[in-house]
Chain A
Amino acid sequence: MYVAVKGGERAIENAHAWLAEERRGDTSVAELSVAQIREQLALAVNRVMAEGSLYDPDLAALAIKQARGDLIEAIFLIRAYRTTLPRFGATRPVETGEMVCDRRISATFKDAPGGQVLGPTFDYTHRLLDFKLAAEGEVPEAPKADPRSESTPHITEFLQGEDIIQREPESEAVPGDLTRQPMSFPAGRDVRLQSLTRGDEGFILGMAYSTQRGYARNHAFVGELRIGTVAVEMEIPELGFAIEIGEVELTECETVNQFKGSKTEPPQFTRGYGLVFGQTERKAIAMALVDRALRWRELGEDFLGAAAQDEEFVLSHSDNIQATGFLEHIKLPHYVDFQSELELVRKLRREAGVDDEAREAAE
């Protein structure tokens, strides 16, 4: 039951004024600029772009500032903003095989053409707090070497020669878009991937970890992980041809999974796929594992009752804006609902005679 009640305007206004002041913090400390957030908290910016599902580093940085560093709140701001933008169209699919890679590693082939390129990674750091960062100082320029000029081939290409890995069916079908049509189940892999790439990193990580711990186990190797920039091309109706309209940084992960064969498929390696805006490798790896777990039906595997195989469970709970909206609404006034519950519980207690017993015990 909902009854409109007025009141609290002044309290709300004053709360927001105090929020603005608290956001600024101690004014004897320099204010953070949006450019500083964009450049120096780049991985937070990347997460907000990926889960906000809008690639724009300056907007994501602004959202982080406004949200006082609460990334889910920042993602909320980006999602709200993107609904105000007219949609000009859709791009051609990005060619990740043409990616200019900052980082490219394979856990399956040591000597892959293009090599193991670490890029600016946290891997192999000692995870010890670096107190030098607490003081201001110049950072020495990173070493350089002669770069490759040719593009870096995908690792799975090498396995495909032998036909020992499942092929991705070629198609130019127009993919489903969950921002335009409500999700329905069973969902196609196109919609599952769209949902996973914008899903909450923590949720996708937890789901992926559950498959590693044995819930719908599908032993995954990281066949390849690459981070870099790709050109974005779109057909322009007024020109009659396609042009590059920009470039985006992406993280791509392809897993190679053991597969003993099923009723419909021969023994071969199967694949899971992760593709995420920005430098977001934990998310991309997790996405690939969950994608693979959700593919049980098309690969003729058994449903083992694991959460990570249950697309309705995964896709309905991966969106942190939907989740936080529903979760947090319960803190808003429910006075009337609660009043009726209170009446009900009192009545039930009277009927059960609980209060009489309690009174007797007290006497």
Chain B
Amino acid sequence: MASEEKIGAAEAARRSWMGLLARAPEARLRELWQGYGAVPGFDWLRRPEVGAVMVRGRMGGTGAPFNLGEMTVTRCSLTLEDGTVGHAYVQGRDKAKAEAAALIDALMQTPAAAAVRAVVLDPLESGMAAAKQTRAAKSAATKVDFFTLVRGED
């Protein structure tokens, strides 16, 4: 039971960083990854490949699925010298972004995780959260406040 929970937590953590890397702005990820410096040695399991995935929606937002249209995605897989496997599925067509994401995914499963989180993932996440927050704040400023005009009957 306890080990299942541990697996669940490890999976949730991996989902979280892979999702962050997939959505990351390319230029920002490149900059932070260069800041990390030491690119570990690795072998390709699958070289970066650009493709499409079919994005689905639901009828009425909640009903049966339908095909909305495709989006571009780049994927790759690699193994570090110690055998750790890293995968990447990232939005867009940037192969360098996919390579960095797969290396980060692999490193996050090694003792280098804390350093990678501090140098790459945390700043990436806070930057993306701040951009999202700014947009939400601008949206909130366009919320309508209704008021009732005083009528002249009494």
Contact = CB atoms under 8 A, between A and B. Distances in A.
Given A53-B70, A55-B55, A97-B61, A118 B89 contact: no
A277 B69 contact: yes
Contacts of A310: none
Given A85-B50, A243-B15, A245-B53, A55 B66 contact: no
B15 A93 contact: no
B59 A115 contact: no
A73 interface: no
Interface stretch (A6-14, A98-106, A259-267): A98-106
A232 B71 contact: yes
B56 to A, nearest CB: 4
A145 B133 CA distance: 10
Interface string B50-74: 1111111111111111111111110
Contact of B57 (A119, A239, A254, A275): A275
Contact of B70 (A54, A58, A273): A54
A115 B68 contact: no
Given A86-B49, A171-B64, A245-B73, A91 B142 contact: no
A244 B69 contact: no
A96 B53 contact: no
A143 to B, nearest CB: 4
Contacts of B71: 54-56, 232, 246, 248
A20 B58 CA distance: 43
A284 to B, nearest CB: 11
Interface in A64-115: 82, 85-94, 96-97, 100-103, 110-111, 115
Contacts of A111: 146
Contacts of A93: 56-58, 65
A270 B83 CA distance: 57
Interface in B1-23: 11, 14-15, 18-19, 22-23
Interface of B: 11, 14-15, 18-19, 22-23, 49-73, 75, 77, 87, 89-93, 132-144, 146
Interface of A: 49-50, 53-56, 58-59, 82, 85-94, 96-97, 100-103, 110-111, 115-121, 142-148, 154, 156, 168-179, 189-191, 193-194, 197-198, 231-232, 234, 236, 238-239, 241-248, 250, 252, 254, 271, 273, 275, 277
